[in-house]
A = this chain, B = another copy of it.
């Protein structure tokens, strides 16, 4: 199987990640529940992982790193825990349903008004539109760091500067960029950064979280056992406990911790460069094929994640992806990718599109095989 669906989940994990999960499953107790050796070990190891995440993303306080089961949960916590009736929010057409549906929920149930910065037919935004949409009631900009459909990266330095100038909270979905694109909450003026563990961070599924800037107060989402302040009727107010109820996925977090070591040793930029090279090889190999339409901007100097999304003639994207899987043993992702507004922008809402996404563990031979497969289908 040639696995080119790394934007959904990085299937191949560094061996150290698997080893760390095994070690945790063999030895760990329940962090924050009890003071014996194994519980303390769990508790310290989890804290150490918060520290590593804080360091990677430029979060000033490790205790403001909250663990969740995925970035969707993190986005629900941030969006539903910060917005109030009457607030106005600016988002974009690039968003995944993990951003859109919590926003629509707040619109329908809690009187939050929404506006979306439009994407053009290439899936690109005009940054001036963010400022144009600001109103007195605007509370936040909620946006992805990169489109999961086209790989288009939004310039968070620019958006962060706008947020700062207008005193808006910038809430970022880093699902597609954590681990493969430089992120610094301070430089980018990010109030809340939501991340997932199982994609570019190369950690286990069931991990993710949010990093919160000091002074940003998010209401609890889940409430329950906290291991501290057991006699209080409400969730304790301190981060991270305020937003973490019940037993954490410490086994998964230990895998994430090892993954963060792997990233630090390998280098986010080194990984990004390698993936970018693979992406350009693939792009150049298929761009001129008859009937192949590629979405997004691949021009020199334009920043993007290692994703090439395309269609072949007017073939249904699911049929193409099935053919790639069945006849060429290549895993891709077709259809809507949970990104409805972006498909409308690209005009692909009926056809969907086939996404090829690369990772540190993808080889050049695999990319060559994928080019050959697309060629065969296109010319077939």
Contacts and interface: CB of A to CB of B under 8 A. Distances in A.
A347 interface: no
Contacts of A205: 28, 30, 247-252
A246 B8 contact: no
A225 B97 contact: yes
Contact of A18 (B26, B234, B324): B26
A245 B98 contact: yes
A322 B338 CA distance: 50
Interface stretch (A128-136, A276-284, A327-335): A327-335
A205 B32 CA distance: 14
A223 B102 contact: yes
Interface of A: 1, 3, 5, 8-9, 11, 13, 17-18, 21-22, 25-30, 33-39, 68-73, 75-76, 96-102, 104-105, 108, 196, 198, 204-207, 222-227, 230-231, 233-235, 245-252, 255, 318, 321-322, 324-325, 329-340, 349
Nearest to A220: B105
Given A97-B225, A246-B71, A252-B249, A34 B234 contact: no
A113 to B, nearest CB: 15
9 closest residue pairs by CB, A with B: A206-B249, A72-B246, A230-B336, A36-B331, A72-B224, A98-B224, A70-B246, A225-B338, A69-B69
A9 B32 CA distance: 12
A28 to B, nearest CB: 7
Contacts of A318: 35
Given A98-B225, A338-B225, A34 B18 contact: no
A192 to B, nearest CB: 16
B102 A72 contact: no
A334 B34 CA distance: 7
Counted per complex, copies of this chain come to 2
Contact of A37 (B18, B100, B331): B331
A231 B340 contact: yes
Nearest to A17: B25
Contact of A38 (B11, B69, B225, B230): B11
B225 A96 contact: yes
Contacts of A204: 25, 249, 251-252
Given A69-B246, A70-B247, A249-B252, A100 B233 contact: yes
Given A18-B25, A76-B224, 12 more contacts: A8-B247, A9-B29, A9-B30, A36-B333, A69-B206, A70-B249, A72-B222, A72-B245, A73-B245, A73-B246, A101-B225, A226-B338
B336 A224 contact: no
Contacts of A255: 25
B8 A18 contact: no
Contacts of A251: 21, 204-206, 252
17 contacts: A9-B28, A25-B204, A30-B205, A34-B321, A35-B325, A36-B324, A70-B246, A73-B246, A75-B224, A76-B245, A96-B225, A98-B224, A100-B233, A104-B223, A224-B338, A227-B338, A230-B336
